[in-house]
Amino acid sequence: MYFRSLSKSILVYLLSIIIITNIFLGISNVKVLISDELIHYLYSTVEEFTKHSDKVVIAFSGGVDSSLLAKICKDLDKQVHLVTIGFANSHDIIFSKSISKLMGLSSRHIAFELKEDEFNDDSRYVMSKLDCDKLSHIENCNAFYQISKVIRNNNLGSSFFTANGFDELFCGYDRYRSIYCQGEESLLSFMKEIY
């Protein structure tokens, strides 16, 4: 089977795309497309990381990764809180609101609109603490700092979960999709290149 040749992280990523696509398309029998073993692996991994808390706060973009994490946490009967940051009327804010509504989680979704002056000051602060010049790392640290402030200001706890990473790992979804569409050999070659 093709899935067996992929690393676990790649496998979980592909699985998440399949599951979330089926959730939003209303296809109820996801098992037709993927094995019970893969579903179990994904759910048990999230369950392991969330086992010490009934409440879960998720950095939420409404994209595949964070939506899947939210869906699994909801299925595991966690009290799910979603936090989105973005500038007023940005795609991130608008899109995440529509996805949280589809998932039945809009009542526990904070879509925080950033103010440019405050954001610029916070960005300078975050960059002063980093010894890094990679833009994607700086962006992530800045986003996590902003999310942490929203969580603290809303008394949601002292930690949050993120499904961030796969898009950076593959240098963006579009690049990964184009390699994936070229077939298994191209995908495996790309994986060897980045590891």
Percentage of the chain with pLDDT > 70?
65
CA angle 56, 58, 157 (to 5 degrees): 55
Is 99 part of any domain? Answer: yes
Return the pLDDT at 136: 72
Closest CA to 65 of 21, 8, 130, 104: 21
**What is the tens place of the pLDDT at every residue in 127-158?**
899 888 777 778 888 889 999 999 999 999 98
How many domains are there within the chain? 1
Is 128 part of any domain? Answer: yes
**What is the tens place of the pLDDT at every residue in 174-186?**
555 566 567 667 6
Is 132 part of any domain? Answer: yes
Between CA 62 and CA 126 the distance in angstroms is 25
Return the pLDDT at 141: 86
**What is the tens place of the pLDDT at every residue in 152-173?**
999 999 888 888 655 544 444 5
Closest CA to 161 of 148, 149, 152: 148
Is 44 part of any domain? Answer: no
Is 71 part of any domain? Answer: yes
Which domain, by its residues, includes 79?
A: 53-164
* Residue 16 pLDDT > 70: no
Is 150 part of any domain? Answer: yes
Is 96 part of any domain? Answer: yes
Band (66; pLDDT cuts 50, 70, 90)? confident
Is 86 part of any domain? Answer: yes
CB-based contact 79:54 (threshold 8 Å): yes
CATH number at residue 88: 3.40.50.620
Return the pLDDT at 115: 92
